[in-house]
Amino acid sequence: MTMSKSNPEVRNIIQDIRSAYVPTMAYDRLDDYFDQLLEQRRADLAEGVITDLRSIALVGGSGAGKTTAMHELRRRYRNRLVCDGPDGVNEMVGLKVPSPATMKFVATAALHAAGYPLVRDRSAAVIWGLVKQQFKLRKTLFMHMDEAQDLAQHQTDKERQAIVNTLKSLMENSQWPVGLVLTGMPGLKAIINQDAQLARRIYSIEIERLSQYAGQDQVLGLVARYCDRAKVRCDEDLRTTEFASRLMHAADYEFGLLAQFIVEALTRALRSDGLEASLSKRHFAEVYFMRTAAIQGLNPFLAEDFTRIDPRQCFDDGSDDERHWNA
Distance CA 25, CA 205 (A): 10
Read off the pTM.
0.88
Give the β-pairing of 92-96 and 202-206: unpaired
Mean per-residue pLDDT of the chain? 91
CB 13 within 8 A of CB 231: yes
Is there a single domain that holds both residue 34 and residue 182? yes
> What does the pLDDT read at residue 50?
86
At 325, the pLDDT band (50, 70, 90 cuts) reads very low
Residue 2 has pLDDT above 80, yes or no: no
Q: Is residue 319 situated within a structural domain?
A: no
Is there a single domain that holds both residue 113 and residue 194? yes
Residue 15 has pLDDT above 80, yes or no: yes
Q: What percent of the chain has pLDDT over 70?
A: 95
Cα–Cα–Cα angle for 118, 123, 126, nearest 5°? 75
Domain residues for the domain of 224 are 2-20+211-308
CB 131 within 8 A of CB 111: yes
DSSP 240: S
Is there a single domain that holds both residue 129 and residue 51? yes
Q: What percent of the chain has pLDDT over 90?
A: 79
Distance CA 242, CA 259 (A): 17
Is there a single domain that holds both residue 186 and residue 248? no
Is there a single domain that holds both residue 50 and residue 156? yes
Is there a single domain that holds both residue 121 and residue 259? no
Axis crossing angle, helix 281-292 with helix 255-273, rounded to the nearest 10:
110
- How many domains does the chain contain in total? 2
Is there a single domain that holds both residue 271 and residue 248? yes
> What does the pLDDT read at residue 320?
43
Query: For 63, what's the count of Cα atoms within 13 Å in the CB-facing half-sphere?
Result: 17
Distance CA 316, CA 293 (A): 7
Is there a single domain that holds both residue 59 and residue 201? yes
Is there a single domain that holds both residue 14 and residue 126? no
Q: What length is written for the chain?
A: 327
Residue 156 has pLDDT above 90, yes or no: no
Of 243 and 161, more confident:
243
Is there a single domain that holds both residue 98 and residue 185? yes
> What does the pLDDT read at residue 29?
98
What's the rounded mean pLDDT across residues 53-64? 96
Give the β-pairing of 55-59 and 179-184: parallel
Residues in Cβ contact with 219 at an 8 Å cutoff, skipping those fewer than 6 apart = 210, 244, 247, 248, 258
Q: Is residue 327 situated within a structural domain?
A: no
Tens of pLDDT, residue by residue over 74-99, are 999 999 999 987 778 999 999 999 98
